Each structure stands twice: as structure tokens, then as C-alpha cells.
Amino acid sequence: MSEKTAYDPNKNYSWQPEDVFEMNGKDFGLLLNTVRAILGTEQAAHIRLALQCNDVIEGIMHTAVEKGIVKEVNVPTPNASELLK
């Protein structure tokens, strides 16, 4: 008899995009209503505006890089001992 793998929420897992997950109506309703409640808050509206602003800024940066106005720079990556200081 093969042993079932136990789920451990402290571990990382992966799955394929075509994998199918099932849920009942109660769980689906919980997820749907929770997401709607969160997205209906004033803070979520601010975040959506910030995301729209970010899209505008990214578009400006994209164009500026293509035109040569903005140039890539190499920023040295600090090693672990420098981060702990």
C-alpha cells in the first residue's frame, strides 16, 4: 500500500497551468464574496489607482529607453554581510 503525501502549509508546492482544482459552492461563495468585499474598500480603490499610475510610468519608461533618453545602469548587489550591518 502506498503512503499518501501529507500537506504541509510550511512547504512550497507547484502545479501545472492545466491542472484542475475543484471546490464546492460554499467555498466558491466564500472566495468570491471575500474578494468583492476587499475590492470594494477605499484602500483597494487607491491601490487600483496606483496600479494605473504604475502602468503609465512603465509606458513612459519603455518609450524613454527605446529613444535612448533613459539608460540602464549597473547597480552593485550587496552581499549578505553588507546587508547585516
Residue 66 belongs to a domain: yes
Inform me whether the pLDDT recorded for 68 exceeds 90. Answer: yes
Confidence category of residue 1, pLDDT binned at 50, 70, 90: low
Confidence category of residue 80, pLDDT binned at 50, 70, 90: confident
Number of domains in the chain: 1
Span 61-77, mean pLDDT? 93
Residue 83 belongs to a domain: no
- DSSP output for the chain: -PPPPPP-TTS-----TT------HHHHHHHHHHHHHHHTSHHHHHHHHHHHHHHHHHHHHHHHHHHTSS---PPPPPPHHHHT-
Residue 33 belongs to a domain: no
Residue 52, domain extent: 42-70
Q: Whole-prediction pTM value?
A: 0.53
Residue 63 belongs to a domain: yes
Residue 61 belongs to a domain: yes
Residue 19 belongs to a domain: no
